[in-house]
Amino acid sequence: MIYTTNAVESLIMQLRKIIKTRGHFPSDEAAVKLLWLALRKVLAKSVRTTYDWKSAMNQFAILYGERFTAARG
């Protein structure tokens, strides 16, 4: 749950900076991969405890199955 838009604006600013410095992408998959890696890097720095995260994780596990459990390590 995000309590202010400052967190969202900060995330968007960081993603735009990464896209801008990269330039162009050979395919859509390359752009998605870059954004995925950037999100992992940004969120690793600023992860907060989230209200009711356990239920969200259960929903992700149901929706994404092995992909979710493999990503958790």
Average pLDDT, integer, range 39-59: 74
Residue pLDDT, tens place only, 31-45: 889 988 888 888 777
What average pLDDT is seen over the chain? 78
Tokens of 6: 């400052």
For the chain, domain boundaries: 6-72
Dihedral (C-alpha) 44, 71, 54, 61: value to the nearest 10 degrees?
150
Report pLDDT for 23.
79
C-alpha triplet 34, 61, 52: angle, nearest 5°: 95
